[in-house]
Amino acid sequence: MAEEKSNGSGWTVTAFITGAIFGAALAFLMAPEPGKETRKKVLSEAEKIRELAMKKAAELIEEAKKKKEKKARTDETEETAEEKEENE
């Protein structure tokens, strides 16, 4: 039976989001604006990043479900083939 290897997309997404958070925070802190405006921008960007993370998480969950279903079908097919061989 062939094993499926993870492509590491979960780690890539995590690294991207972490980098985006640090980059956005640094950019806002270095910007020459009053604190109140900076806080509004930080909250706005944090909300955008949260929405992106939730969307990507949903996509990864859906992909995992599809892989699980495919594996179950493959296992079922292999079991049926083994039963046929035993009956012959």
The dihedrals phi and psi of 3, each to the nearest 5 degrees, come to: -95, 140
Does residue 22 sit within a domain? yes
Residues 6 or more apart whose CB falls under 8 angstroms from that of 84 comprise none
- For residue 2, the model assigns a pLDDT of 42
- Dihedral sign computed on CA atoms, order 77, 80, 84, 86: positive
Does residue 54 sit within a domain? yes
Mean pLDDT within 46-53: 87
Mean pLDDT within 23-52: 80
Does residue 3 sit within a domain? no
When the pLDDT of each residue in the chain is averaged and rounded to a whole number, the result is 78
Residue 32: pLDDT band (50, 70, 90) is confident
Does residue 23 sit within a domain? yes
Domain count of the fold of the chain: 1
Mean pLDDT within 14-19: 82
Does residue 49 sit within a domain? yes
Name the pTM for this structure. Answer: 0.50
Over 70: is that where the pLDDT of 5 sits? Answer: no
Does residue 2 sit within a domain? no
Q: Which domain holds residue 58?
A: 9-87
Over 70: is that where the pLDDT of 20 sits? Answer: yes
- For residue 75, the model assigns a pLDDT of 80
